[in-house]
Amino acid sequence: MSVEGLPGYRGKLLEVLKTAKVEIGDIVRVKVDSNIYEGAVMPRVESADDWHIVLKQKSGYNIGIAFTNNFEVLKIGEAIKPEFRAPPLPKSNDNLPKVNIISTGGTIASRVDYITGGVYAAMSSKDLLSIVPELTELAKIDATILYSVFSENINSDHWTGMANDIAKKIDDGANGIVITHGTDTMGYSTAAISFAVQNLPIPVIFVGSQRSSDRPSADSATNLVAAVKAAAYAPFTGVYLCMHEGTSDDSIIFHPGTKVRKCHTSARYAFQTINSDPIARQKNGELEIIADNYPKRSFLKPVIKNKFEKKVALIKFYPGFNPLIITSLIEAGFKGIVFEGTGLGHVSEACYDAIESAKRHGLLLGMTSQCLWGRVNMNVYSMGRELTDRGVIPLEDMLPETAYVKMMWCLGQTSDIILAQQLLLNNFVGEFNTRSLYKRKN
């Protein structure tokens, strides 16, 4: 980590540090009242308080020292700055498969601020490579930073950028691609790339972590190693999301990019494959294929379809839902709405007028279920038929999130609503199961 200046420090404390010509990484002696502390100055996060200096002590532990009127700081040495350097690559490296790690941000690329306990974006894929040197024994690694954003700020422009970068890396001879990503919206991005990069000849593995890499329960290293291994050696192609399967570090699971969802705020096994099966599992370091039929690696040239229509909304229905939300989207010129209805795919009668209006205004309308598991079926109840009569398209067992991303993508490919509807109902990468393949559990 190479840090310039004094990021995170503000106000009077910043002035005092500047006067003492102290920078991040420098060894300092801090005297407060009768207490003396020594250690390397650590960076702080932007939004941290402005009255603590954080030092990494010789013991390795960090301490925060409150800034008071009796605060003195003296620079006693320029420390070896905590910059991570990639270890020398092994000689055999050129014969290994080539894997590109593309960093987009998230916890897997973050560190903890020791005063607030907060996490901030800090680490590049290169840093990770330094922390996990065994990666270089697995593959010829090329790590680059594409974005450095918390994943709640990811939008379709980033998806377009990722698709383009993937195409470039494949063109440059990548045998597999790993994308590090914040977990919050990783499932949306895996769906987006599944549609935006077609004829994919190699695996694209998204990977994240739920615990930042300096916590004891960190999952970043195990997840990253599994992702790189699969990117380098797995026989399948396609877009997958790789995370812990359960509480154990021994089992890492690979979810299909369009059928995966974050289902826990903090657990390491947060992600689940819904209405389908994972494609593979890495158990004690060995890759086990789960899916019977998987798309094989090929020498196809990828086709990049990187446009997404931004004027698409995902609307979750609930009792008392006010249809003005639909109306306001129509007025704002939206092109499509995916509903997250109840049960088999329902919304209340109170929405019918607004839905008819949306249809008259040429919006593409799709229906998914907030149940998440199971498939919509709008033929069972009369209310479902009322909706299909109004042009709402049942979207099978697609996840609401995947359906939203897919509709953005369909309307990005064509402005013709009939063609967009055809694309929406075309099964590109197994984003829905046809009825006959559906495994009923009861």
Q: CB 290 → a second copy: shortest distance, Å?
A: 22
Site for a second copy in 56-115 (CB under 8 A): none
User: Which one of the listed residues 126, 262, 335, 406 is annotated catalytic?
Assistant: 262
401 binds a second copy (CB under 8 A): yes
434 binds a second copy (CB under 8 A): no
419 binds a second copy (CB under 8 A): no
Kind of pairing between the strands at 238-244 and 203-207:
parallel
Site for a second copy in 282-341 (CB under 8 A): 308, 310-322, 324-325, 328-329, 332, 340-341
Q: CB 374 → a second copy: shortest distance, Å?
A: 3
Instruction: Give me the 154-193 binding string for a second copy, x by CB under 8 A, dash otherwise.
Output: xxx-------------------------xxxx--xx----
Phi first, then psi, for residue 255 (nearest 5°) are -90, 140
Reply yes or no on whether 262 is catalytic: yes
Site for a second copy in 2-21 (CB under 8 A): none
User: Among residues 180, 276, 282, 342, which is the contact residue for a second copy, using CB under 8 A?
Assistant: 342
The two tokens of residue 119 are 């996490």
User: Among residues 47, 57, 426, 427, which is the contact residue for a second copy, using CB under 8 A?
Assistant: 47
436 binds a second copy (CB under 8 A): no
Task: Let me know: does 211 contact 217? Beta carbons within 8 Å.
Answer: yes
Task: Let me know: does 379 contact 319? Beta carbons within 8 Å.
Answer: no
| Nearer to a second copy among residue 96 and residue 112 (C-beta) | 112
| Nearer to a second copy among residue 175 and residue 275 (C-beta) | 275
Q: Helices 400-413 and 186-196, interaxial angle, to 10°? A: 40
From the list 293, 268, 297, the residue with the least C-alpha distance to 280 is 293
User: Among residues 217, 426, 427, 434, which is the contact residue for a second copy, using CB under 8 A?
Assistant: 217
- Residue 342 DSSP class: B
Q: CB 410 → a second copy: shortest distance, Å?
A: 14
Q: CB 41 → a second copy: shortest distance, Å?
A: 20
User: Which one of the listed residues 136, 180, 183, 258 is annotated catalytic?
Assistant: 183
Contacts with 38 (C-beta within 8 Å, 6 or more apart), sequence order:
27, 28, 29, 30, 55, 57, 58, 76
The two tokens of residue 22 are 């102290």
- Residue 386 DSSP class: H
User: Which one of the listed residues 104, 107, 136, 185 is annotated catalytic?
Assistant: 107
352 binds a second copy (CB under 8 A): no
Instruction: Give me the 371-400 binding string for a second copy, x by CB under 8 A, dash otherwise.
Output: xxxxxxx-xxxxx-xx--------------
Long-range contacts at 114-121 (CB < 8 A, ≥ 24 apart): 114/42, 114/54, 114/62, 114/63, 114/64, 115/44, 115/48, 115/49, 115/52, 115/54, 115/64, 116/45, 116/47, 116/48, 116/49, 118/45, 118/47, 118/48, 119/212, 120/45, 120/46, 121/148, 121/149, 121/150
Reply yes or no on whether 184 is catalytic: yes
Site for a second copy in 223-262 (CB under 8 A): 246-247, 262
- Residue 115 DSSP class: T
Q: Which amino acid is at 111?
A: R
146 binds a second copy (CB under 8 A): no
The two tokens of residue 317 are 């229905």
Query: What is the set of active-site residues?
Result: 107, 183-184, 262
